Amino acid sequence: MSRYMGTSVKRVEDPRFLQGQGKYVANLVLPNMAHAAVKRSPLAHATINSIDTSRAEALEGVIAVYTGKDLLEGTGGFKCGSLPCGWQVPDLNMPPHNPLAVDKVRHVGDGIVVVVAESPYIAEDALDLIDVDLEPLPAVVDGREAMADDAPLVHESADKNLSFHWPLGDEDAVNEALSNSDHVVELEFVNQRLIANAMEPRATAAEWDPATQSVTVWTTSQNPHTIRLLLGAFTLGIPEHKIRVISPDVGGGFGSKIFHYPEEVIIPFVARAVGRPVKWVASRSEAFVTDAQGRDHVTKAKLGVNDDGTMTALHVTTWANMGAYLSTFAPLIPTALYITLFAGVYKTPVIFGEAYGTFTNTVPVDAYRGAGRPEASYMLETMVDLAARKLEMDPVEFRRKNLIQADEFPYQTPVALVYDSGNYQALFDKIEGLSDYKSLRKEQEAARAEGRLVGVGFASCIEASGPAPSAAAVGLGAAIGLFESGAIRVHPTGKITVMTGSHSHGQGHETTFAQIVADEFGIDIEDVDIVHGDTDRVQYGVGTYGSRSAALGGSALVKSAEKIREKLKRIAAHQLEASVEDMVYDQDEGTISVAGSPDAVKTFAELAFASIVADNLPEGMEPGLEEMTFYDPSNFTFPASAHVAKIEIDRKTGEVDLQSYAAVDDVGNVINPMIVEGQILGGIVQGVGQALWEHGIYDEDGQLLSGSMLSYALPRADRFPSIAVDRIETPSPHNPLGVKGAGEMGTIAATAAVSSAVLDALAPLGVTHLNMPLTPEKLQRAIAAAGNGGGE
Amino acid sequence: MDVSMTVNGKGVSADVEPRTLLVDFVRDNLGLTGTNVGCDTSQCGACTVHMDGMAVKSCTVLAVQADGSDITTIEGMATNGQLHPMQQAFWDAHGLQCGFCTPGMIMASVKIADGNPGITDDDVRHGLEGNFCRCTGYENIVKAVKLGAAAMSGGQS
């Protein structure tokens, strides 16, 4: 049927990026535009005794200077509010988060003063002329230590640093099952702090229009409508219908651009106050201490297994570091996106998980690619490897023994989710072939005989993607529904403009959504334009994260297209003098004809034109051709994966050489294989980054030691072999496209697979576990320690 | 200070502060915003341009240092509406996603591919270790550069 679906259409958006024509916020130039810079705290925890801005104000070219108090008190009846958390788990301790700190700073990078000046250079100069008297306070940086009775209190609004406690499952049943198991493997480990580092640093610009009393905000967001909602309802004091938020081309997000940031409040405020457009662009150094960070869990896990290799029960407690303030979706990540994934692809009969979210003097933590699900997969796959090793079983054989079977879908897990579809045996069969798993084991055996440290890692993971059915999401803490909207406007000549609430910041929606719509009508893809990222052009939107765009945004467009096709059939039936039931829409040709009378035919363009000529429409039909759908899914989608990594560790230097990597993923039906592969490949490399190099390290005073690209080790091209990817397709049964999320699976599986490979290489030395990142220093020490008669 | 240089074949001159970075001069004075700024420590390579035939990170060059030089930015790569073979190769091989690193990646790639039609995976991966991409995982960038290298030499490899 389809001409574009399932084919690797080259990306429509690429020519502008290839030629340097991307419309990023930093490129924006407005008449009479001023520039802002933010004075930030150099200390992690301190009382603000005084702020003296007089020297900065006296600098030539400085237009205005505002403190946190100025923002709260406001000007002309216009003031800023506290940034809210949009995910309210039960008994949530949610202290205020002012756009600029008022009495106290709570992390390095916390904003204190904003300067508006004629140029970015002058604004930066002025920051050095601001005198802030800070009284240092003791800091807490570890998420579990923050629970201690004597830990420094990050927020005085409560008497402890606990933000929430979220348990799920029958703990008594799990404890009983563990005590009845032949073996229990236990481990305490860390899933380290990561920093997203989208290549485009955040930026925000704003322009106040006194004539309409409205503001336009350009910001690097994955979900501009959500930003507008929060600005209107909470933070800016301007009604929502007087706010336009535009997120034009956005240079990567990986979660870090989902959230409502202080600068999105500060910049519109100062633009209105000074009566000029104002732009702020983060430096990379600022990004390191202000972009919400990822992961940072301390976890204790117990997995029960019987002698025959069956998993019996799982008990997990996690301390999740929330940082200094609750970021927009922070409580969601270690709860409903983490604990509900503890079943993975396995049939563990009883599971209990709990998370403590705590405040520390570090940058806030929120979703980073995968968001809770990589943490769940890493936990589960690490425990599964431990159990297999305990039973001296091949890790793949052990996993196969516990897999959910293909005929058991829909599958109800013990942790709330119902998996939609899958075929994990087929995934395993394919990855064993693609990776040549048995040969890898033989090579490993031979290498071990030579004393070399070669490891083969395996990870098989599940993801809940495409959040979410609104009722379920709100039940779990969401402040708003998580549906998606899609509108199709057919122009009189048969050309189409699509307005989607999804947002593309690398995903290629301008191509894939056009593929969907062109096929729905049987027209050329060149005749379809996709509009996103502008609250004045797009009706409403929830945005792009959680691998939701195809499943939700794409499905909304299918539904809107169905409505338009029905209207076209009615027009055609009327004009061809036939009954609507006899109308056949040919989606290859883009025509509607009368069944059995192929000559009685109308083209899509003819009917589009007829709808606005409107002189010959069925009785009572409105002219025009435009439909909109709010699509609320009935479930998440559940992509799955099986990845294999082979590594060798240099015994002398501890360096890991990633020698081969193979991935088989099931993301349901595929709209554009080239783009899906690109998402998987990019995700894998990010996941390997966590396993081997990346780490947001804070010292005990709360200083971020890896606060630049010099010290935070991002994956580089020269550290990777060519990666083999393949897929199976088990369509999701509950969305019209049959698609599942593709954006995060690579990251979710790769961290676990590469960590597994390194630990596999070290197993003969008696090393049972090492926390990530598995850096040369750490491995070299572990190898040396083993050489001295024991593991770490 | 007065600076004069040739940018994308056109002579330009301006009075700039001595501290003005070449990337800011190109972006703010000339309005050529295709060259992006991704970091402030010369790690990421998003701002790579050609200066007198060399790929340089324009965040690490002062505008005054570029006085008298011949600069090419990403905007100068396509000719008469025809993409440069390396731009075309990045398109064909899906060597970009969000597009932010792409201008710098292409400018660096052109230099490592120049005169090297049979460039290997290893050459490309080492040649691009100073350019970060957070989206693609580099796999398709490597493919693109090999394709582009062959195309730049007229298709022989």
- Are residues A460 and A347 in contact, defined by beta-carbon separation less than 8 angstroms? no
Total domains in chain A come to 3
On whether both B65 and B115 belong to a single domain, the answer is no
Amino acid B155: pLDDT:
58
Q: What is the pLDDT along chain B (157 residues), one digit of tens a residue?
A: 999 999 999 999 999 999 999 999 999 999 999 999 999 999 999 999 999 999 999 999 999 999 999 999 999 999 999 999 999 999 999 999 999 999 999 999 999 999 999 999 999 999 999 999 999 999 999 999 999 999 999 854 4
Q: What is the mean pLDDT of residues A454-480?
A: 94
On whether both B91 and B70 belong to a single domain, the answer is no
On whether both B62 and B96 belong to a single domain, the answer is no
Total domains in chain B come to 2
223-242 in chain A: CB under 8 A from chain B: none
pLDDT band at A1 (very low <50, low <70, confident <90, very high): low
On whether both A372 and A508 belong to a single domain, the answer is no
pLDDT band at A394 (very low <50, low <70, confident <90, very high): very high
Does some domain include residue B79? no
Amino acid A788: pLDDT:
65
Amino acid A75: pLDDT:
85
Closest CA of chain A from B61, distance in Å:
16
On whether both A280 and A339 belong to a single domain, the answer is no
450-509 in chain A: CB under 8 A from chain B: 505-508
On whether both A228 and A363 belong to a single domain, the answer is no
709-748 in chain A: CB under 8 A from chain B: 709-710, 714-718, 720, 722-723, 746
The CATH number of residue A533's host domain is: 3.30.365.10
Amino acid B157: pLDDT:
42
For strand A528-531 and strand A496-500, is the pairing parallel, antiparallel, or unpaired?
Answer: parallel
Does some domain include residue A703? yes
Does some domain include residue A401? yes
User: Domain of B145?
Assistant: 85-152
On whether both A428 and A368 belong to a single domain, the answer is yes
Amino acid A78: pLDDT:
86
Per-residue pLDDT tens over the stretch A716-748: 999 999 999 999 999 999 999 999 999 999 999
User: Domain of A516?
Assistant: 484-631
Closest CA of chain B from A196, distance in Å:
9
Distance, in Å, from the CA atom of A423 to the CA atom of A571, rounded to the nearest integer, reads 44
Compute how many other C-beta atoms are within 10 angstroms of the C-beta atom of residue A241: 10
Instruction: Give the C-alpha distances (Å, rounded to integers) separating A691 from A316, A382, A756.
Output: 21, 12, 9
On whether both B65 and B40 belong to a single domain, the answer is yes
- Chain B positions touching A678 (Cβ under 8 A) are 94, 97, 135-136, 140
Does some domain include residue A185? no
On whether both A617 and A571 belong to a single domain, the answer is yes
- Are residues A421 and A733 in contact, defined by beta-carbon separation less than 8 angstroms? yes
Instruction: Give the C-alpha distances (Å, rounded to integers) separating A770 from A192, A317, A461, A700, A788.
Output: 12, 19, 21, 21, 17
On whether both B69 and B89 belong to a single domain, the answer is no
ω into A410 cis (within 30 of 0): yes
Domain limit, last residue, from B74, B101, B117: B74
A309 token code pair: 């290799």
Q: Do A18 and B38 touch (CB under 8 A)?
A: no
Q: What is the mean pLDDT of residues A540-560?
A: 96
For strand B70-72 and strand A62-67, is the pairing parallel, antiparallel, or unpaired?
Answer: unpaired
The tally of CA atoms less than 13 A away on the side-chain side of residue B100 is 29
Closest CA to A311 of A421, A402, A423: A402
pLDDT of residue A388 exceeding 70, the answer is: yes
- Chain A positions touching B103 (Cβ under 8 A) are 17, 20
Does some domain include residue B24? yes
Closest CA of chain B from A658, distance in Å:
14
CB-CB: which of B46, B91, B136 is closest to A14?
A: B91
Amino acid B156: pLDDT:
45
Q: Do B98 and A283 touch (CB under 8 A)?
A: no
pLDDT of residue A536 exceeding 70, the answer is: yes
On whether both A506 and A537 belong to a single domain, the answer is yes
On whether both B68 and B93 belong to a single domain, the answer is no
- How large is the greatest C-alpha to C-alpha distance in chain B, in angstroms? 47
The CATH number of residue B61's host domain is: 3.10.20.30
Domain limit, last residue, from B29, B45, B74: B74
Does some domain include residue B137? yes
Q: Which residues of A338-361 are buried (b: 16+ CB within 10 A; e: fewer)?
A: bbbbbbbbbbbbbbbbbbbbbbbb
Does some domain include residue A145? no
**Beta-bridge partner residues of B57:** B48
On whether both B29 and B56 belong to a single domain, the answer is yes
pLDDT band at A272 (very low <50, low <70, confident <90, very high): very high
On whether both A53 and A88 belong to a single domain, the answer is yes
- Chain B positions touching A715 (Cβ under 8 A) are 137-138
On whether both A286 and A332 belong to a single domain, the answer is no
The CATH number of residue B120's host domain is: 1.10.150.120
- Give the best residue of A11, A13, A14, A512 to mutate against chain B (max B CB count within 10 A): A14
Amino acid A77: pLDDT:
82
Distance, in Å, from the CA atom of A463 to the CA atom of A408, rounded to the nearest integer, reads 17
**Could you tell me how many residues make up chain A?**
792
Question: A242 in helix, strand or coil?
Answer: helix
Per-residue pLDDT tens over the stretch A582-604: 999 999 999 999 999 989 999 99
Q: What is the mean pLDDT of residues A125-130?
A: 98
On whether both A116 and A261 belong to a single domain, the answer is yes
Using the Cβ of A362 and the Cβ atoms of chain B, whether some distance falls under 8 Å is answered with no
Amino acid A790: pLDDT:
44
Distance, in Å, from the CA atom of B83 to the CA atom of B92, rounded to the nearest integer, reads 12
On whether both B63 and B99 belong to a single domain, the answer is no
On whether both A690 and A768 belong to a single domain, the answer is yes
Does some domain include residue B31? yes
Instruction: Give the C-alpha distances (Å, rounded to integers) separating A249 from A205, A287, A302, B104.
Output: 14, 18, 45, 17
Per-residue pLDDT tens over the stretch A630-664: 999 999 999 999 999 999 999 999 999 999 999 99
Q: Do A708 and B121 touch (CB under 8 A)?
A: no
Does some domain include residue A171? no
What type of residue sits at position A698?
Y
Does some domain include residue A669? yes
> Which residues make Cβ contacts (< 8 Å) with residue A3, sequence separation at least 6?
A518, A519, A522, A588
- Are residues A115 and A62 in contact, defined by beta-carbon separation less than 8 angstroms? yes
Does some domain include residue B80? no
Chains A and B form CB pairs within 8 A to the count of 181
Per-residue pLDDT tens over the stretch A696-706: 999 999 999 99
**Beta-bridge partner residues of A461:** A641
Does some domain include residue A82? yes
Per-residue pLDDT tens over the stretch A288-330: 999 999 999 999 999 999 999 999 999 999 999 999 999 999 9
Closest CA of chain B from A369, distance in Å:
11
- Establish whether this prediction's ipTM goes over 0.95: yes
Distance, in Å, from the CA atom of A556 to the CA atom of A540, rounded to the nearest integer, reads 12
On whether both A614 and A533 belong to a single domain, the answer is yes
Q: What is the mean pLDDT of residues A368-381?
A: 98
Closest CA to A575 of A546, A618, A531: A618
- Give the best residue of B58, B132, B134, B146 to mutate against chain A (max A CB count within 10 A): B134
pLDDT of residue A792 exceeding 90, the answer is: no
On whether both A662 and A709 belong to a single domain, the answer is yes
Q: What is the mean pLDDT of residues A246-269?
A: 98
Using the Cβ of A60 and the Cβ atoms of chain B, whether some distance falls under 8 Å is answered with no
Domain limit, last residue, from B40, B74, B108: B74
Distance, in Å, from the CA atom of B25 to the CA atom of B14, rounded to the nearest integer, reads 9
- Are residues A200 and A10 in contact, defined by beta-carbon separation less than 8 angstroms? no
- Chain B positions touching A121 (Cβ under 8 A) are 17, 19-20
Does some domain include residue B114? yes
Does some domain include residue A477? no
